[in-house]
Amino acid sequence: MKIIHIDTTNGLCGALFVVLGLFFAYQSWMMDMGTALRMGPGYFPLLLAGILLLLGIIVLIQATRVASEPIGPLAWRGMLLILPAPIFFGLTVRGLGFLPAIFITALIASFASMRMKPITALILSAGVTLFSYLVFSRGLSLPYRPFGPWLGF
Amino acid sequence: MDLIDNLILGFSTASTLWNLFFCLIGVLLGTLIGVLPGIGATATIAMLLPITFQIGDPVAALIMLAGVYYGAQYGGSTTAILINMPGESSSAVTAVDGYQMARKGRAGAALATAAIGSFFAGTVATFLIALFAPPLTAIALKFGAAEYVSLMIVGLVSAVVLAHGSVIKALGMVVLGLLLGLVGTDVISGAPRFILGIREYADGLNFVAVAVGVFGIAEILRNLENEHERSVLIRNVQGLMPTREDFRRMTAPILRGTVLGSVLGILPGAGAILAAFASYTVEKRVSRHPEEFGKGALEGVAGPESANNAGAQTSFIPMLTLGLPTNPVMALMSGAMIIQGIVPGPNVASEQPALFWGIIASMWIGNLLLIVLNLPLIGLWVKLLTVPYYILFPIIMAFCSIGIYSVNSNVYDLYLVAFFGILGYALMKLRCEPAPLLLGFVLGPLLEENLRRAMILSKGDPTTFVTRPISAGLLALAAAVLVIVFLPAIGKKRAEVFVEEGA
């Protein structure tokens, strides 16, 4: 029996398209379709989801035939530390207040690089915080509390 | 003369102290971030987008954003010349001969040539926009819903053609973008769509968060993959003034580049990139010393830089007149207009003449500021190149976070940034271009609305799209473009162009 070799890059890409297509198709299916004359909220998205699904299948078929470029190295450390930074800011900006939130956000992001030293990270984050205070609070007077209720303010 | 009156209105709008100030800020910030290697114009604009919302005045905000665009492009070519690391694909051509000139100690002349060429091309392109925008707007005003649908299809199809890599994947990106654009409340029925029960997304996904995630964060992650030292070749740039011989050599390439760029820039997709490559090829062919190309030919910097800038500028034409963004930067600009409460389209020129002509005039002013400011500041930009990357991205992340939060004070937008950051990075790794996705995202709601309207107007008859002549013509164009790209011969040629670009 011939072993079917699936190219990783295209295989994953096709799978992603298929999954997303199915997700949108399922969600659209739950909505009112309407008619071609008076399209309901589900009509156009279902059409698009169908196309996406189809394209995903084509990419999958291609993946079994031709090899494409490899995926290459992944920035694991970057993903682990860069992505949580805005999430942390979102979770704490109201509770801790804008200044502590920005300080810790910058600190988290700092360690995404292997080259960063702790002292540099602290100084850098403090600098960013001071600059943000001057520009955003003083300069643009954004209505955010510098320190929030969690800190007793 | 209407044209003169309009330009006077534009220049009087753009040259108020308030607007000049924002133009200056935009140009400076754009250059500042554009100079950083690995961060191109699109990512720069995406990251600076939130700041412009604090201005409150749409004219000033858009003028600043346009300034960021030119600044980022200019910064990109500086990086290309000095460290052979183009911030974006359109300055990849400049890197070829620009870097070689820098190695020969002629970095100053290369930078000055790039600046002069860009300024000249920018001036010509500004007048072209002023000349062609009104008649195009007049045509666009006659468009009905069916024509708009067809026009958007042309735009989306062209974006697919000019994307790198697989056409199927680019099509997938467009469709995914359209779907993501539909997230939120359906305008006609009021039904919530695809929001997974999160009420905070009922108004749709925040455009800025999507753009920053897909372009900005994904770009940062890619840069973190392998952190290596950058070697800055030139610590001191000297001999900024080109010699008389240089001026003689750069004149014709600049003229040819400007013409090429102006024409190709109007095309949907990546007109400016295409223009830069076309110009380089033309210069090499007409040159009496083709062997100098790749070894530091001045013409190889002058032509592509002019073409690139002219194309960047004329790509505003479809956006300003038809409301149709033709590249990711224009998608960002039209997203910015929507957030400022202006619906991009042919009505902008008649309803907001000060805004419309103000932006056009500010393009020229922005180019002028660039040449006046940046050549003296070149020392500063060179220093900036020596700042290590690991210092930069925590700063970028912090400002992105504040910036995005400040758009709507919605913390869910910040979660969106992280989500689209990882999605953008995954797509990048899977060799999917993010540009068509963003284009689809911006056009999604518009396309659906016009499609529904067209169907109601035609009483449910889908042939309306082919029986109305303008609509039929546009659809035929879209079909022709798709057919051509799937023809094997063209596909091969296209692959060659992008291979050359990647090299």
Dump pLDDT digits (tens) for A40-49.
Answer: 888 899 999 9
Q: Looking at the domain assignment, is residue B356 inside a domain?
A: yes
Q: Looking at the domain assignment, is residue B235 inside a domain?
A: no
Q: Looking at the domain assignment, is residue B65 inside a domain?
A: yes
* Best mutation target, A26, A81, A83, A130, to test chain B (most B CBs within 10 A): A83
Q: Looking at the domain assignment, is residue A39 inside a domain?
A: yes
Same domain? For A44 and A101 the reply is no
Same domain? For A146 and A121 the reply is yes
* Three-class DSSP category at B193: strand
In this prediction, residues B428-438 reach a mean pLDDT of 85
Comparing B165 with B357, the larger pLDDT belongs to B357
Of A45, A25, A23, nearest in space to A34 by CA: A45
Give the Cβ contact number of residue A108 at 10 Å: 24
Give the single-character DSSP code of A34: B
Last residue of a domain, one of A65, A91, A114: A65
Q: Looking at the domain assignment, is residue B229 inside a domain?
A: no
Q: Looking at the domain assignment, is residue A87 inside a domain?
A: yes
Q: Looking at the domain assignment, is residue B434 inside a domain?
A: yes
In this prediction, residues B306-320 reach a mean pLDDT of 84
Q: Looking at the domain assignment, is residue A71 inside a domain?
A: no
What is the extent of the structural domain holding B86? 2-224+241-502
Spatial distance between the Cα atoms of B503 and B24, rounded to a whole number of angstroms: 35
> How big is chain B, counted in residues?
503
Are the beta carbons of B351 and B363 closer than 8 angstroms? no
**Beta pairing class for B184-185 and B192-193:** antiparallel
Give the single-character DSSP code of A112: T
Same domain? For A59 and A89 the reply is no
Chain B residues with CB under 8 Å of A116 CB are 390, 394
Q: Looking at the domain assignment, is residue A107 inside a domain?
A: yes
What is the extent of the structural domain holding A60? 8-65
Cβ separation of A51 and B175 shorter than 8 Å? Answer: yes
Cβ separation of A128 and B178 shorter than 8 Å? Answer: no
B194 touches chain A (CB under 8 A): yes
Same domain? For A99 and A123 the reply is yes
Which residues does residue B185 pair with via DSSP β-bridges, in sequence order?
A: B192
Residues B441, B445, B451, CA angle at the centre, nearest 5°? 125
Comparing B40 with B281, the larger pLDDT belongs to B281
* Three-class DSSP category at B396: helix
Pull the structure tokens for residue B455. Answer: 């169907």
* Best mutation target, B52, B390, B453, B459, to test chain A (most A CBs within 10 A): B390
Same domain? For A83 and A39 the reply is no
In this prediction, residues B464-492 reach a mean pLDDT of 79
Same domain? For A49 and A83 the reply is no
Which residues does residue B193 pair with via DSSP β-bridges, in sequence order?
A: B184
Same domain? For A57 and A117 the reply is no
**The predicted structure's pLDDT at residue B502:** 41
Same domain? For A145 and A89 the reply is yes
Q: Looking at the domain assignment, is residue B101 inside a domain?
A: yes
Same domain? For A50 and A82 the reply is no
Pull the structure tokens for residue B153. Answer: 């299809």
Q: What's the structural domain count of chain A? A: 2
CB proximity under 8 Å: B 110-149 to A: none
For residue B450, the distance in angstroms to the closest alpha carbon of chain A comes to 11
Same domain? For A60 and A119 the reply is no
Same domain? For A106 and A143 the reply is yes
Which regions of B142-271 does DSSP assign to beta strands (E)?
184-185, 192-193
Evaluate if residue B494 carries a pLDDT over 70: no
**The predicted structure's pLDDT at residue B422:** 93
Same domain? For A80 and A144 the reply is yes
Nearest by CB to B411, from A35, A38, A93: name it.
A93
Which residues does residue B51 pair with via DSSP β-bridges, in sequence order?
A: none
Q: Looking at the domain assignment, is residue A139 inside a domain?
A: yes
Q: What's the structural domain count of chain B? A: 1
Q: What is the pLDDT of residues B36-67, one digit of tens each?
A: 765 667 777 877 787 777 777 888 888 888 88
Evaluate if residue B233 carries a pLDDT over 60: no
Q: Looking at the domain assignment, is residue B279 inside a domain?
A: yes
Query: Which residue of chain A is at minimal alpha-carbon distance from B419?
Result: A83
**The predicted structure's pLDDT at residue A91:** 92
Q: Looking at the domain assignment, is residue B383 inside a domain?
A: yes
CA-to-CA separations, A45 to A48, B75, B125, B146, B449, in angstroms, rounded: 5, 40, 39, 19, 12
% of chain B beyond a pLDDT of 70: 90
